[in-house]
Amino acid sequence: MTTAAQEYQAKVKPLEDDYWVRRKPLDDAYWVRRKPRNDYWAKVKALRDAMTAYMPELEALHAQLCTDCPWDGTTIFSEGAA
């Protein structure tokens, strides 16, 4: 004897299977269109990682070349300038 839930699942399963078969081409097309965006963000991440790696050297060079600069790592405006 089958339960109501088993009968329901038996009726729903073919519908769900059909849904996923029809949806797969849409999903595939979506990811093909999205790939350039994913590639872009991968390149941005690599650039940020490189900048982070060189930041101590850049800050040291800036301190050496721009001795009077009020840059404190976040702003060029000093505390007293309002």
pLDDT in tens, 23-41: 999 999 999 999 999 999 9
**How buried is 37 (Cβ within 10 angstroms: 0-12 exposed, 13-18 middle, 19+ buried)?**
exposed
pTM across the whole model: 0.45
Whole-number pLDDT of residue 36: 92
Among candidates 60, 59, 57, which has minimal Cα distance to 74? Answer: 59
